[in-house]
Amino acid sequence: MLRSIRKLEQFRILAADSDVGSVTDTYFDDGQWVVRYLIVDASDWLHDRKVLISPHAVTSVDWNARAIATNLSRTQIQASPSIDTDKPVSRQHESEYHRYYGYPEYWSSAAYSPWGAMPIVRPAGEMPAWGDQQRPTEAVPEPAGDEHLRSSRHVIGYHIEASDAGIGHVEDFLFDDQNWAIRYAIVDTRHWLPGKHVLLEPERIRNVNWAERSVSVDMPREAVRSSPAYDPDRFRNTTPKSPHAPS
């Protein structure tokens, strides 16, 4: 089913033994277009610290109760690598995070598909014991940061630049709640097309420019205008099909 990324904010995160905190943001990959992490405010018990929770850890999402259950314990989360969520997350920190939890490294896949971008977690019998995950590992030099990892909270509101002119701004993203793949950007074009919101598939997005707070698309303004209109009722109970799947 397609869900709004914006509506994830303030969802409670539940560890296997107690509450962890609430979602304040999400990080998504604008190269593979999939949600990578939930940013969780755990300051009530971790001294003003925020933590990352991977969708790999999510066992269920209750949209009515606004709660996300995970298979992690508070102890695991407390001992997880500290990451400054106020700055771009470096690849080295991501590597440490994935090694700690035993998750596969998504950046080793170049395929455009949710499971290519976010590989299925290894079966429980193949996962390292948590104690083994804490053993020191040899540091591997990594690039300073992942240029494709974006904060949804920051990108929402970015201006949409068509190939010939500006047309609106990013209102939200719709993701598949089965595999966390982003299926559409919701574009608010009301300043140019009063009252109309349209859907753009991620493949049409050419670039996300952090410095200019803009999203460039490879289509003229008229083509954006002709994109499918966003109807919340239509997507509320819809199971999405991959845009690359045969009709």
Please check the confidence at residue 149 and state whether its pLDDT lies above 50: yes
CATH for 2-150 is 2.30.30.240
pLDDT of residue 113: 42
| Position with higher pLDDT, 46 vs 245 | 46
- State pLDDT tens for residues 162-212: 999 889 999 999 999 999 999 999 999 887 766 689 999 999 999 999 889
pLDDT of residue 114: 43
E strand or H helix at 233, and its extent?
helix 232-236
- State pLDDT tens for residues 113-130: 444 444 333 333 333 333
CATH for 152-236 is 2.30.30.240
pTM of the model: 0.79
pLDDT band at 231 (very low <50, low <70, confident <90, very high): confident
Q: Decide whether 2-150 matches 152-236 in CATH topology.
A: yes
- By CB neighbour count within 10 A (0-12 exposed, 13-18 middle, 19+ buried), where does 144 fall? exposed
Half-sphere exposure of 26 (CA within 13 A, CB side): 27
Mean pLDDT in residue range 48-55: 91
Q: What angle do CA 197, 117, 80 make, to 5 degrees?
A: 105
Domain boundaries, the chain: 2-150, 152-236
Rounded Cα gap, residues 184 and 83, in angstroms? 29
